[in-house]
Structure 1
Amino acid sequence: MQALDATFYVSVASRMMIYAIAATSLNLVLGYGGLVSFGHAAFFGIGAYTVGILITEGVVSGWIGIPLAMGVAALFATVIGAVSLRTRGVYFIMITLAFAQMLFYLVNSVKAYGGDEGLNLKLRSSLGFGLNLKDDATFYFVVLACLAATLLAVHRIMRSRFGRIVLAMRDDDVRAEAIGVPTFRYKLVLFVISAALGGLSGALMVNQQNYVNPNVLHWTQSGTLMVMVILGGVGTLWGGVLGAFVLLLLEEVISAYTVHWQFWVGWVLLAIVLYAPRGLVGLVSRALGRGAGPK
């Protein structure tokens, strides 16, 4: 019984960290870039399906599958960004949403890889070096390393000259463009980096569940990631992490008592928006006596 409990908690923790990577990738464009993307689930799903299809076709090497998942997501983001980033506001939101939904219906129609029933996998990716991803504890530490690398990458990016320009564009992209900053190029690079990290989270997710279906591409999945970011703290390094952990923890606890757990999470989110606009990270920072700006 204790072994089963330990396996369950390790699995839940791994799932939390996977979604923390996905939420952090969205926070990169939403919080730091000021770009409200409602199609971010597309990159999550692309990463998952890329690895799933490769494993189905006999390519189990994680050193091929995971980078390829990130690359395909980045390539798709380049196409989406080339169209959507020339617009602003609600037009950008609707274009990203439209692309994601087109991909959702496309995957639904491809019966060779499960269609609307999804894709079942008998294997997980292989990394070699004695790392057996079938072992939940090993998988946990691999996901932890990926989360740490993601946070370090975002931290370094936003502390760089590139990051400072991105923040300046978020505050006033018209003025930034007026002084000669190629805003479209910077936004596109940020969007592509964000997509690659989203693809990484999807690749890890399909390895944990040994299953993927088109619902990971649906706009409601993008909404879930956005809730995580808002809950944790928009434009903060730890916002996506804290938001993912708290939302999934609330899901686990409340769903044990009622199937309508989203109703109660909605009240929590409403309270955060009204009384803690900087999210949970802002509350923690306030309690510790320091600001909660982008770090």
Structure 2
Amino acid sequence: MRAALTRLAAPALLFLLLLAVPFLGIGGGFVLDLLTRAMILGIAAVSLSLLVGGAGLVSLGHAAMMGIGAYAVAALDAAGITEGMIVFPTALAAAALFALVTGAVSLRTSGVHFIMITLAFGQMAFFTASSFSSLGGDDGYTLYARTEILGSPLLQDRRSFYLVCLALLALVWGGCTAILGSRFGRVLRAARENERRVRAVGFSPVPYRLVAYVMAGAVGGLAGALLANASEFVSPASLSWTRSGELLFLVILGGLGRLHGAILGALAFVLLEEWLSHLFVYWRLVFGPLLVLAVLFLHDGIAGLPGSLRAWSRWRPTFSKRRSADA
């Protein structure tokens, strides 16, 4: 019980801090927009963390799920449909269907082959989106208006949109945490560690992995629908493999195996990118090496930083005593 409360302490503190931001008046609307974008990326990163950390499935096509969710919003907007009770379920269903079809093929492989086939499916989705001339093609599509919720322009207000994204982020994190803690999640983790042993006790990992892949795809579609509303613009770039690589990097930066680490990774990535871009023109020359150093030296990610600091503090006095004894 105590261990469970300890594991929940860091995510609970993180959500409380995010909840307090709009009521503290920090930075005005710009900060809210920035954190909203970070939380949307966090939703997609948590769903990818479910695959990578939970099932051991490293996907380079996860951005396709986001892009399909975003293009579902654009297609319905072009048809004059902006009701959220239609738009969001459609975005989730479209992304889940894409994940089901591609996952049924991709999960026949493993390791590097799985990475490459998800990359191939992602690029197919990218080029397909580029060919949609009715939705702007390569130039993208600008939404006429943000999605309404039961006829109310709830998402038009910055604070309301921020709180909706925060609530959905907490819901996604809680749902993924419950999944990994269930019997279903235990089978996923066991198959990640030793697939042969799981088969020996009577479980076939493929159906479990496919269900997890579809669930992660649906959540990715939700993130894409929210991102389309946040930017009020959709383009094929949202489906590119570089966005998939960015999402995978967020998971690694935050800490593999820690769902709230994906949220921390998204926040750190977005805030550091924004801060450096205001310092000097060639900020990417610093941004890239900083992220590489973070991955190299933070082996457990940002979420594991407190534990790493405690281990370092215990190791340092021992090291000092050894040096004194040698002297």
TM-score by length of 2: 0.84
1:270 Cα deviation after fit: 2.3
Instruction: Look up the match of 1:172.
Output: 194
Summarize the alignment of residues 74-93 of structure 1 with structure 2, pairs less than 5 Å apart. Answer: 74-93=96-115
1:264 Cα deviation after fit: 2.3
Pair 1:13 & 2:48 matched: no
1:242 is matched by which residue type in structure 2? L
Instruction: Look up the match of 2:249.
Output: 227
Summarize the alignment of residues 112-151 of structure 1 with structure 2, pairs less than 5 Å apart. Answer: 112-128=134-150, 132-151=154-173
Identical-residue share of aligned pairs (%): 45
SS at match of 1:280: coil
Alpha-carbon contact 2:51-2:212 (below 8 Å) kept: yes
2:90 is matched by which residue type in structure 1? L
Q: Distance in 2 between matches of 1:264 and 1:170?
A: 35
Deviation per CA, 1:177-224: give whole Å up to 9, x if none.
232211110010011111111011000000111101000000000011
Structure 1: stretches of 5+ with no match in the other structure: 290-295
Q: Distance in 1 between matches of 2:47 and 2:285?
A: 26
Distance 1:184 1:260, change over 3 A: farther
1:287 Cα deviation after fit: 4.3
- 2:292 pairs, out of 249, 263, 270, with 270
Instruction: Look up the match of 1:61.
Output: 83
- 1:242 pairs, out of 252, 264, 274, with 264
Q: Distance in 2 between matches of 1:129 and 1:209?
A: 20
Aligned pair count reads 287
Alpha-carbon contact 1:41-1:218 (below 8 Å) kept: yes
Alpha-carbon contact 1:41-1:221 (below 8 Å) kept: yes
Q: Distance in 2 between matches of 1:63 and 1:261?
A: 41
Distance 1:260 1:229, change over 3 A: farther
Alpha-carbon contact 1:131-1:138 (below 8 Å) kept: no
Q: Distance in 1 between matches of 2:242 and 2:185?
A: 29
Q: Distance in 2 between matches of 1:5 and 1:161?
A: 44
> After TM superposition, what 4+ stretches of structure 1 lie above 4 angstroms from structure 2?
none
* Structure of higher CA gyration radius: 2
1:132 Cα deviation after fit: 1.8
Structure 2: stretches of 5+ with no match in the other structure: 1-24, 312-327
1:263 Cα deviation after fit: 3.3
Distance 1:166 1:111, change over 3 A: same
Higher helix share: 2
1:85 Cα deviation after fit: 0.4
SS at match of 1:279: coil
Distance 1:120 1:158, change over 3 A: same
1:131 Cα deviation after fit: 5.7
Pair 1:34 & 2:70 matched: no
Deviation per CA, 1:46-83: give whole Å up to 9, x if none.
11110111112111111111111111101100111111
TM-score by length of 1: 0.93
Q: Distance in 2 between matches of 1:192 and 1:268?
A: 34
1:288 Cα deviation after fit: 6.7
Q: Distance in 1 between matches of 2:223 and 2:159?
A: 18
1:169 Cα deviation after fit: 0.8
Instruction: Look up the match of 1:160.
Output: 182
